[in-house]
Amino acid sequence: MGIINVNNLSKSFSYYKKDVGIKSSFMNLFHREKLSKEAVINASFEIDEGEVVGFLGPNGAGKTTTLKMLSGILYPTSGEATVLGYTPWDRKKDFKMKFSIVMGQKSQLWWDLPANESLHLNKYIYEIDDKAYQSSLDELVELLDVRELLKVQVRRLSLGERMKMELIAALIHKPKVIFLDEPTIGLDIISQKKIRGFLKYYNQQTKTTIILTSHYMNDIEDMCRRSIIINQGKVVFDGQLNMVNELFSQKKLIKLQLSNSVEESELKKFGDLREYAGLSATIEVNKTELKSYSQIILDKFPVLDFNIEDIPIDEGISLIYQKGGEQDEIPAKIL
């Protein structure tokens, strides 16, 4: 039995259609066309304690809606879910004291106050005693190296600094489950790396269960062994991230650095020539022919450097997105 259990969870939203103009507004007073959008459709998965799971999908796939249901912000249309043994949308106090949700595009800090004021407020919200609060705060500010920023107004902090403070606010009560919705959005590469490193270390030390959504593949590859991919509201993949390309492709990339240029037509004989720049080339070849082709290429061409690489994971994920969640188009091992 996992710490998070989801069974056929669905959520649909109703809205009204309206054309542009005063005439349409007037007509809508008497008759409105009601439409429905299915944001999540029969999602089912299980997550064990201490797992860090990447929750992936294109914009509008249903990622944030799912996290909002698991955190109790939204009621589902149908289905069941338990987090830490609680039904999230019952919103019981004991449940709310044991999880956190961080949304990269929404702040929980008071904009015009120093971060330490918001953190002190959380101390009372989560009923943390003085000693435990100070111990947790000291640990987190040291790990994130932001002690000198605690007394600075939040609006005067950089985006990366604000996100660090958001994480401290979310972790100050030592939650057992954390939902992270695009926590590195808009951050530079260095800030992203620092936050990933912190979250990995925190997970290792506390065994906190983390669900992470992100459009940055570095976040997912660096932190998550397992990923769940959702598209058009449906879960279309649940498994180890490195399985994605194994399921969709039996290809490898041969990357070459040459001392002299060769004809493109000669390189194309070995497979799909993805890149060619005179003295460098990337060729996509079948795995079954990799060994024989590699030997021929080394013997035939003036090769200075030779590398064999897997197809990038994000290409496999993109292919899943393109399938649109249609079960008859997705390999059976994925579902």
Beta-strand (E) ranges in the chain? 4-17, 33-47, 52-56, 78-83, 99-103, 177-181, 209-213, 226-231, 234-240, 251-258, 272-276, 280-286, 303-310
Please indicate, yes or no, whether residues 57 and 148 belong to a single structural domain of this protein: yes
Residues 215-257 pLDDT 10s: 887 888 888 889 998 888 899 889 887 777 666 567 788 999 9
Considering the domain boundaries, does residue 330 fall inside one?
A: no
The domain tally of the chain equals 2
Considering the domain boundaries, does residue 320 fall inside one?
A: no
Please indicate, yes or no, whether residues 135 and 205 belong to a single structural domain of this protein: yes
Residue-by-residue DSSP string for 4-60: EEEEEEEEEEEEEE--SSHHHHHHHTT--EEEEEEEEEEEEEEE-TT-EEEEE--TT
Residues 93-149 pLDDT 10s: 999 999 999 987 788 899 899 999 999 999 999 999 999 999 999 999 999 989 999
User: 293: domain CATH number?
Assistant: 3.30.70
Nearest to 237 by CA among 227, 223, 246, 245: 227
Considering the domain boundaries, does residue 101 fall inside one?
A: yes
| 0.85 exceeded by pTM | no
User: 96: domain CATH number?
Assistant: 3.40.50.300
- State residue 325's pLDDT score: 47
Considering the domain boundaries, does residue 213 fall inside one?
A: yes
Please indicate, yes or no, whether residues 142 and 258 belong to a single structural domain of this protein: no
- CB hemisphere CA count around 162 (13 angstroms): 24
Considering the domain boundaries, does residue 335 fall inside one?
A: no
Considering the domain boundaries, does residue 29 fall inside one?
A: yes
CB 202 within 8 A of CB 301: no
Which residue segment(s) compose the domain that 263 sits in? 250-310
Residues 310-326 pLDDT 10s: 777 667 677 676 655 44
Domain boundary among 244, 268, 299: 244
Mean pLDDT of 288-312: 87
Instruction: Check whether 180 has a pLDDT greater than 70.
Output: yes
